[in-house]
Amino acid sequence: MVKFSEDKLKEVQSMIDRYPEGKQKSALIPLLHLAQEEFGGWLSAETMDYVGSLLGIEPIEVYEVATFYSMYNLQPVGKHVFEVCHTGPCMLKGSDDIIGYIKSTLGIKVGETTADGMFTLKTVECLGACGYAPMMQMGIDYREHLTETKVDEIIAACRNKQ
Amino acid sequence: MATKLLLAKAHVEGIRHFEVYRREGGYAAVEKALKMEPAAIVEEVKKSGLRGRGGAGFPAGMKWSFLAKPEGVPRYLVCNADESEPGTFKDRYLMEFLPHLLIEGLVVSSFALGSNRTYIYIRGEYAWIVGILEQAIAEAKQNGFLGKNILGSGFDCEIYVQRGAGAYICGEETALIESLEGKRGNPRIKPPFPAIKGLWDCPTVVNNVETLAAVVPIMNMGGEEYAKIGVGRSTGTKLISACGNINKPGVYEIDMTISVEEFIYSDEYCGGIANGKKLKACIPGGSSVPILPANLLLTTAKGEPRLMNYESLADGGFATGSMLGSGGFIVLDEDQCIVKNTLTLARFYRHESCGQCSPCREGTGWMEKILGKIESGKGAISDIDLLWDIQRKIEGNTICPLGDAAAWPVAAAIRHFRDEFEWHVNNPELCQTQNFGLAHYADPIHVPA
């Protein structure tokens, strides 16, 4: 059963309080971020319905938002998600090679998760780190100036955290 | 040494914190502004000639003066921190290193516009910056520069940070407002403009981060003094985020009198092309603006040196010029493939189209597919003409400027580099292993004879 803790519910309320009365729907996008963090890194239909109920809006109002924005995962993802940018400026600095290297190192294609559920590889469009390319996002962190060595280190650090 | 109005203190240790920022002269603009009439602040911004720094370059003071002020209806200021235009990372830098500069600009601007509830809409991926901004907001509040009855003036203002969730389109102001209302980022039909009917149908001003930060030096020095910096209608300073194949990528503050050549080759800025390569092309104002070959980048069609400002970069129109745009300066060296670069941008716009308007929703997908075909050596000459035709039919036929933004890079690539597209078609195998190279785009100044 999907439910926020008391502490998280306080956070939800403080999010809603940022808007004038009756405009609580504005909290939907921040709330979906919170729900994704809390409930396994993705948004199930159950999670989305729950978020809708907290805001007093229809489930469809949640689904149409969740499907529009690229940061919401609508399917389960691995424990660590590598979101590698491949737009123009990163491409100029070798993002294709980095994506290729991650694919061969982890043995997965873009969009897949490793069998042990540890890593998901995604490609994303420009994340605003063009001067520090190539780069990827991992959770809320940016990893910039990527090289094969750096990728190896990141993967090793993720495995060691186990 | 260039004038630095925004980044002068970026490297002062601890400048992220209120005490240091205040010790360095911070929040003087708030003290000054709160003693003025709001309309007088709008006048100062008008006099400064400040133009919107998000990309469109619309005069900020004029935008402010359009704000409707019906009795008893709240007005809102929204700071656009959705920075998503490929090549652009200046607002990120400003917020990360000088959060109080933005907060100070927001307090002054909120007072000028009568916004008691101001939102910073930040792209969802800049998650770590949310904490930096919220810390700065809390500090400003503790010190009486934000919150209830600021400095005893009777003016109340709260600032909230709202995270987006990954959508380039939310940088378009009406899509941003939709998103802030908890909806999909579908741009609205204008009119009505946000100044009349914006957030929750109330009068709203949406300004870029850098624009609002620039209000601080304008307050401190006065609009007239600010307008003396720069040239013509390009007043003040501009942040440029430089990336691609250069020695020193990063964020630079320039006054808009320097030449493009100086910006690329001087050690104070980009430090020249990386690895001793030659300059092939450049997208000078974020991915949407026309790409220029080296020869047209460094000098205008009239043979004058091109300068880093609104007018000079646009000199020659789209036939031979480009735009300053957001200041996302993307440099391509001789090893880069124009077709591949255009393909990645076309893919970007296809991914980011909100899907409301058919020309953009369908056209961006078609352009990506055709470019993919040409890039992989499977294209025909007629595909180049088809691409041209599609981009022309997208431009001007959509609710918001994303359609134009998707069309322009393709149009400019074909306009200036058609022979490279043809070479791909005519050399389907060779183009997979070899690069077209520089051809006649060679940088006329820096290529040895």
Residue B333: beta bridge partners? Answer: B279
Q: In this prediction, what percent of chain A has a pLDDT beyond 70?
A: 99
pLDDT at B300: 95
Residues A49 and A93 in one domain: no
Which of A28, A57, A92 is closest, CB to CB, to B336? A92
The mean per-residue pLDDT over the stretch A57-80 comes to 97
Do B154 and B37 belong together in one domain?
yes
Distances (CA, A) of B326 to A129, B25, B91, B211, B255: 15, 28, 10, 11, 15
Residue A162, pLDDT score: 65
CATH value at residue B277: 3.10.20.600
Q: Is the pLDDT of residue B449 over 80?
A: no
Could you tell me if B71 and B86 lie in one domain?
A: yes
Is the pLDDT assigned to residue A127 strictly greater than 50?
A: yes
Residues in chain B with CB shorter than 8 Å from the CB of A141 are 128
Residue B139 has pLDDT above 50, yes or no: yes
pLDDT of residue A161: 84
**Residue scoring higher pLDDT (B434 or B22):** B22
Chains A–B, number of C-beta pairs less than 8 Å apart? 144
Cβ of residue B168 closer than 8 Å to a chain A Cβ: yes
Domain final position from B333, B349, B369: B333
Q: Which domain holds residue A20?
A: 6-66
Last residue of a domain, one of A22, A39, A66: A66
Q: Say whether pLDDT at B413 is over 50.
A: yes
Q: Is B290 touching A (CB cutoff 8 A)?
A: no
Question: pTM, whole model, 2 decimals?
Answer: 0.96
Same domain, yes or no: B344 and B265: no
Specify the amino acid at residue A150.
K
Let me know whether A61 and A89 are in one domain. Answer: no
> Are A139 and A109 in a shared domain?
yes
- At B150 the three-state DSSP class reads helix
Chain B residues closer than 8 Å to A29 by CB: 124, 162-165, 179, 182
Q: Do B83 and A128 touch (CB under 8 A)?
A: yes
> Do residues B210 and B258 both lie within one domain?
no
Cβ-defined contact of B249 to A65 (cutoff 8 Å): no
pLDDT at residue B437 in the model:
82
Mean pLDDT across the stretch B125-132? 97
The per-residue pLDDT for B444 is 56
Determine, for residues B89 and A18 on separate chains, whether the beta-carbon distance falls below 8 Å. Answer: no
Domain with residue A45: its CATH number is 1.10.10
Give the Å distances, CA to CA, from A4 to A27, A38, A40, A50, B29.
15, 8, 12, 9, 43
Confidence of residue B448 (pLDDT cuts 50, 70, 90): very low
Question: Taking CB atoms and an 8 Å limit, are B86 and A27 in contact across chains?
Answer: no
| DSSP one-letter code for B186 | P
Q: Tens digits of per-residue pLDDT, B175-229?
A: 999 999 999 999 999 999 999 999 999 999 999 999 999 999 999 999 999 999 9
**Does residue A74 lie within any of the structural domains?**
no
pLDDT at B142: 98
Asked if residue B296 and residue B366 are part of one domain, the reply reads no
Residue B9 lies in a domain: no
In a domain, A126, yes or no: yes
Closest-CA residue to B237 (of B82, B100, B365, B53)? B53
Q: Residue B171: its chain A contacts at CB < 8 A?
A: none
* Structural domains of chain A, count: 2
From the candidates A16, A29, A145, which should be mutated to test the interface with B, based on the most B CB atoms within 10 A? A29
Q: Cβ separation of B163 and A29 shorter than 8 Å?
A: yes
- Same domain for A84 and A138, yes or no, is yes
Taking 90 as the threshold, does the pLDDT of residue B107 lie above it?
Answer: yes
Amino acid, single-letter form, for residue B312: S
In a domain? residue A71:
no
B280 CB neighbours in chain A (<8 A) are none
Does residue B80 sit in the same domain as residue B217?
Answer: yes
Query: Considering B228, B262, B278, which residue would you say is the last residue of a domain?
Result: B228
The answer as to whether A117 is a domain residue is: yes
Q: What is the pLDDT of residue B1?
A: 53
A145, pLDDT greater than 70: yes
Residue A141 resides in a domain: yes
Q: What is the pLDDT of residue B23?
A: 98
pLDDT over 90 (residue A1) = no
- Considering the domain architecture, whether residues B303 and B369 belong to the same structural domain is answered as no
Boundary of a domain, candidates A14, A40, A66: A66
The predicted pLDDT at position B442 comes to 64
Is residue B233 a part of any domain in this protein? no
Q: Which two tokens stand for residue B276?
A: 């001793």
Please report which confidence band the pLDDT of residue B320 belongs to, taking 50, 70 and 90 as the band edges: very high
In whole numbers, what is the pLDDT of chain B averaged over residues? 96
Q: Which residue has the tokens 């056209």?
A: B363
pLDDT at A148 over 50: yes
B23 and B92 belong to one structural domain: yes
B343 and B325 co-located in one domain? no
A93 lies in the same domain as A35: no
ipTM above 0.95, yes or no: yes
- In sequence order, what are the residues at sequence separation of 6 or more whose Cβ sits closer than 8 angstroms to the Cβ of residue B431? B375, B377, B423, B424
Question: What residues contact B36, with CB distance under 8 A and at least 6 apart?
Answer: none
User: Over the stretch B150-178, which tens digit does the pLDDT of each residue have?
Assistant: 999 999 999 999 999 999 999 999 999 99
Domain that residue B282 falls in: 238-333
Give yes or no: residues B320 and B348 share one domain: no
- DSSP per position, B85-143: STT--HHHHHHHH-HHHHHHHHHHHHHHHTEEEEEEEE-TT-HHHHHHHHHHHHHHHHT
Same domain, B257 and B146: no
CATH number of the domain encompassing residue B100: 3.40.50.11540
Between chains, do A126 and B341 touch, taking CB under 8 Å as contact? Answer: no
CB contact under 8 A, A93 and B244: yes
B440: pLDDT strictly greater than 90: no
pLDDT at A9: 97
Per-residue pLDDT averaged across A83-101, rounded?
97
Give B2's pLDDT tier (boundaries 50, 70, 90). Answer: confident
> Residue B224: its pLDDT value, please?
97
CA distances from residue B373 to A153, B6, B348, B362, B415 in whole angstroms, order as listed: 36, 45, 16, 17, 19
Residue A48 sits in the same domain as residue A17: yes
Write out pLDDT tens, residues B50-74.
Answer: 999 999 999 999 999 999 999 999 9
My answer on whether B402 and B367 are in the same domain is yes
Q: Residue B90 and residue A136: Cα distance in Å, rounded?
A: 18
Asked whether the predicted pLDDT for residue B137 surpasses 60, the reply is yes
In a domain, B414, yes or no: yes
CB B55 within 8 A of CB B241: no
Confidence at B103, pLDDT banded by 50, 70, 90:
very high
- The CATH number assigned to the domain holding B353 equals 1.20.1440.230
- What is the model's pLDDT at position B435? 87
Contacts of A27 in chain B (CB under 8 A): 182
Report the domain count for chain B: 3
Please say if the pLDDT value at position B80 is more than 50. yes
Contacts of B83 in chain A (CB under 8 A): 128
Residues A62 and A85 in one domain: no
Q: What is the pLDDT of residue B202?
A: 98
pLDDT tens, position by position, B338-349: 999 999 999 999
Pair (A57, A108) in one structural domain = no
Residues facing residue B81 across a β-bridge: B122
